[in-house]
């Protein structure tokens, strides 16, 4: 029986684990893959986590993990299959065993969204990718496209521009959502070309991606864009399916919780990208983890 079970080991889960250990709580972190680190691992460069200017996502994740390890946090690699959260003793079933605790922090993060167009599924791993830092090297000196207009699309395009011959940035509007500094860097990059107001209708090829069919959302004009790779960066979906029906969520599935992390179920907290909120950054995820532990410590002291 633990004080706290943390599900997920991205920045929210790792921060919660560090705060839990410092509060002398008995804590276990359940993670699907060893050293998951969450979406940080797919980030080439993080330039807005205070004190770590320009650090790679991998290095920042490693530093956080080392910090948790030094404090003696117990990590278990296991896939959570079911969670019974309503009673005073929470039961989290995994493919290995059942874990019990008085409190559960859900820090399961988010997963990439799909375009849902013809060819996307067929060519995933054959030119369609959702991770530029993982797959970019396969497209050295080739022409590729990035779809999206947020921070991830901008970062992916900048990363790929260093490796590929040409990068087309395809966005459904004529304004990017990405941070101003990233936009500035994109404009300065000679081998990035913008395809404004365009959506992908189809991903075309024989055995791998050969081109994209684009449609201009205003004129309706359709063109074929020859590329060997397409990186889809159109946002994320929360990983909250396991908790559907047990915890109040917004219409897109993000768990509703205040700054204190408390969800609609007593003793259950949400931290990081799974929590409904405006800003989803490493720094806000880390803050969420800390807030959840603070709430748990307060609750435990009230009960004593």
Q: Which residue is nearest to ligand NAP (CB)?
A: 150
Is there a catalytic annotation at residue 134? yes
Per-residue exposure over 203-240, b if at least 16 CB sit within 10 Å of its own CB, e if not = bbbeeebbbbbbbeeeeeeeeebebbbbbbbbebebbb
274 near ligand NAP, rule: CB under 6 A:
no
Among candidates 240, 260, 267, which has minimal Cα distance to 85? 267
Rounded CA separation 273/280 (Å): 6
The nearer residue to ligand NAP, 102 or 272, going by C-beta atoms, is 272
Contact 38/135 with Cβ under 8 angstroms? no
Question: Residues 149-168: x/- map of binding to ligand NAP (CB under 6 A)?
Answer: xxxxx-x-------------
Beta strands in the chain (DSSP E): 2-7, 27-31, 74-77, 80-84, 90-94, 98-106, 110-112, 128-129, 143-147, 166-170, 192-195, 198-205, 209-216, 222-226, 229-232, 236-238, 268-270
146 near ligand NAP, rule: CB under 6 A:
no
Scanning 6-14, 124-132, 218-226, 232-240 for contacts with ligand NAP by CB under 6 A, the matching segment is: 232-240
Beta bridge partners of 205: 209
Is there a catalytic annotation at residue 135? yes
As measured in angstroms, the least distance from the Cβ of 195 to ligand NAP is 11
Scanning 184-192, 231-239, 240-248, 262-270 for contacts with ligand NAP by CB under 6 A, the matching segment is: 231-239
Question: Residues 42-61: x/- map of binding to ligand NAP (CB under 6 A)?
Answer: ----x-x-------------
# binding residues, ligand NAP (CB under 6 A)? 21
Rounded CA separation 229/300 (Å): 52
Among 27, 227, 234, 296, binds ligand NAP (CB under 6 A): 234
Among 93, 118, 166, 177, binds ligand NAP (CB under 6 A): 177
Among 233, 247, 249, 297, binds ligand NAP (CB under 6 A): 233
Footprint of ligand NAP on this chain (CB under 6 A)?
Answer: 46, 48, 115, 147-153, 155, 172-173, 177, 199, 233-236, 280-281
């Amino acid at each position: 029986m633990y004080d706290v079970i943390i599900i997920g080991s991205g920045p929210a889960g790792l921060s919660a684990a560090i705060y839990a250990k410092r509060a002398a709580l008995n804590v276990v972190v359940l993670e699907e893959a060893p050293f998951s680190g969450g979406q940080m691992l797919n980030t080439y460069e993080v330039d807005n986590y205070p004190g770590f200017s320009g650090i790679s996502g991998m290095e920042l994740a490693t530093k956080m993990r080392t910090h948790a390890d030094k404090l003696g946090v117990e990590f278990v690699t296991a896939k959570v299959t079911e969670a019974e959260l309503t009673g005073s003793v929470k039961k989290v079933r995994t493919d290995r065993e059942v874990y019990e605790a008085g409190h559960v922090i859900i820090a399961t993060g988010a997963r990439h969204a799909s375009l849902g167009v013809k060819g996307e599924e067929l060519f995933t791993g054959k030119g369609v990718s959702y991770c530029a830092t993982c797959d970019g090297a396969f497209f050295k000196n080739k022409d590729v496209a990035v779809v999206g207009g947020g921070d991830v699309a901008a970062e992916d395009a900048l990363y790929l521009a260093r490796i590929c011959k040409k990068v087309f940035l395809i966005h459904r509007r004529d304004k990017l959502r990405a941070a101003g500094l990233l936009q500035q860097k994109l404009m300065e990059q000679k081998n990035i070309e913008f395809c404004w107001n365009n959506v992908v209708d189809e991903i075309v090829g024989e055995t791998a991606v050969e081109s994209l069919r684009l449609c201009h959302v205003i004129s309706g004009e359709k063109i074929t864009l020859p590329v060997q790779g397409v990186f889809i960066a159109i946002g994320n979906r929360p990983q909250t399916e396991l908790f559907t029906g047990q915890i109040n969520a917004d219409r897109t599935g993000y768990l509703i919780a205040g700054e204190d992390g408390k969800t609609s179920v007593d003793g259950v907290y949400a931290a990081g990208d799974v929590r409904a909120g405006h800003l989803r950054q490493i720094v806000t995820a880390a803050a969420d983890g800390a807030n959840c532990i603070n709430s748990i410590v307060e609750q435990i002291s009230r009960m004593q």
